[in-house]
């Protein structure tokens, strides 16, 4: 979700859509909350490269508590939650702790194609920024080591292509006020849900 260091691929930058009004509305309406998330202390510590192992584990667990119910609400196969489980396991988090991780219980209702697309705009956009954060984890994971940073690596070299696919889906949306409102509302609700959830990420203040 709006993490620091967002990098958009050249192909995504060059994508021109007939439905630019919808994309412009999404950028405008989500700009303030996106900027606030840039200042989130966990992502900020990660960006600086000085997050501790304890706090990094706390951050991953909080993200897991969001993405597990998100995938259920969006009716998508587990993907990001699996990446997070992989990373947590690599940090030697005991298996018994999975049931102890708090799970977000105020996920937006994503019951239409339009609302799922609005939420996906937020989630897939965060993957762009995640790749920039992944390289800051050498101190915890080791240089060139994938274990521990799979979530932030996202789709690797395919990240730009996935983002371009989201832009194309926005382009193909019906050009009417009801459709646009459903997409934008779901994006705003997803961002707001994520922001509220991430405020409680830290169990030990040590960064």
DSSP annotation of 147: T
Q: What are phi and psi of 15, to 5 degrees?
A: -65, 125
- 16-198: what fold? Heme Oxygenase; Chain A (1.20.910)
Q: Measured between alpha carbons, how far is 89 from 95 in angstroms, rounded to an integer?
A: 8
Instruction: Tell me the average confidence (pLDDT) per consecutive run of 10 residues in the chain, 207 residues long.
Output: 44 44 91 88 90 91 96 95 93 69 95 96 88 89 90 85 89 89 96 94 58
Residues 99 and 1: their CA atoms lie apart, in Å, by: 24
pLDDT, position 170? 92
């Amino acid at each position: 979700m709006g993490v620091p260091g967002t990098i958009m691929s050249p192909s995504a930058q060059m994508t021109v859509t007939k439905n630019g009004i919808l994309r412009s509305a999404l950028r405008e309406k989500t700009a303030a909350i996106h900027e606030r998330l840039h200042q989130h202390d966990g992502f900020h510590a990660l960006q600086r490269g000085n997050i501790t192992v304890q706090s990094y584990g706390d951050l991953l667990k909080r993200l897991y508590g969001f993405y597990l119910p998100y995938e259920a609400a969006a009716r998508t196969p587990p993907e990001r939650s699996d990446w997070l489980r992989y990373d947590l396991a690599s940090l030697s988090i005991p298996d018994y702790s999975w049931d102890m991780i708090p799970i977000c219980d105020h996920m937006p209702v994503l019951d239409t194609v339009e609302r799922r697309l609005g939420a996906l705009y937020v989630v897939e956009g965060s993957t762009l920024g995640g790749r920039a954060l992944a390289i800051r984890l050498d101190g915890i994971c080791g240089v060139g080591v994938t274990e521990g940073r799979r979530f932030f690596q996202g789709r690797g070299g395919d990240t730009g292509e996935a983002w371009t696919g989201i832009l194309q889906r926005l382009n193909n949306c019906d050009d009417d006020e009801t459709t646009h409102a459903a997409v934008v509302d779901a994006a705003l609700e997803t961002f707001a849900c994520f922001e509220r959830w991430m405020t409680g990420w830290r169990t030990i203040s040590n960064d």
